[in-house]
Amino acid sequence: MTSDSTGRGQRGSFDEETLQRVCRREPAAMNRFFDEFFGRVHSYVSRLLRDETLADDLTQESFLRMHAALDRLDPARDPTPWVFTVVTNTVRDYWRSKAHKAAGRQVSLDEAWELPSENPHDRADENLERKETIAAVHEAMKLLAPADREILLMKSFQTLTTAEIVDVLGISADAVRQRHSRAVRRLGRILHDHMGPDRVST
């Protein structure tokens, strides 16, 4: 199936008829829809918040918001950007909330890239270097601005396409590429300061 630049015709694993049933809130179709996205949504929220209990709560809140807004889901398009728009807005609402500020939480994506800390086939010194690299990446992610962390997570962990990120963030494709490029450069500069130029590839 071909599609135009708007993403029409691209629906992932859902055909248009199934998505129409989702929009009508038919139980079987809705269960399939939520099952399809639950793991990705929970993983995304968990890495944004670094708090499993809170991630459970906001994942549930995200799906409740999706259920309430199903009349705005376009069955002719891939639902992925719509889903992540709802989820991202739910997390942003929490960050702006009094509960978040009272808890003194920081937005943390320090495990956006979950690399194994040890490889049984590597020498001890190689495993130590791997651990130091992972620790440096974690610390560098903490120092990035929330917008930088957000786009790095979407692009590098969730592997959303540029077109999907355009829909989620409501910005142009050029803005997505520029924001991602800036975020990568900023992360690189922080890693350079933490690890030194010999340990950071550009």
Among 34-38, 117-121, 124-128, 182-186, where is mean pLDDT lowest? 117-121
Percentage of the chain modeled with pLDDT above 70:
67
Residue 31 has pLDDT above 80, yes or no: yes
Domains and CATH numbers, the chain: 10-105 (1.10.1740.10), 118-202 (1.10.10.10)
Q: Is the pLDDT of residue 56 over 80?
A: yes
pTM for the complete prediction? 0.59
pLDDT at 116 > cutoff 50: no
What residues are paired with 8 via a beta bridge?
77
Tally Cβ neighbours within 10 Å of residue 80: 23
- Angle between helix axes 27-49 and 16-23 (nearest 10 degrees) is 90
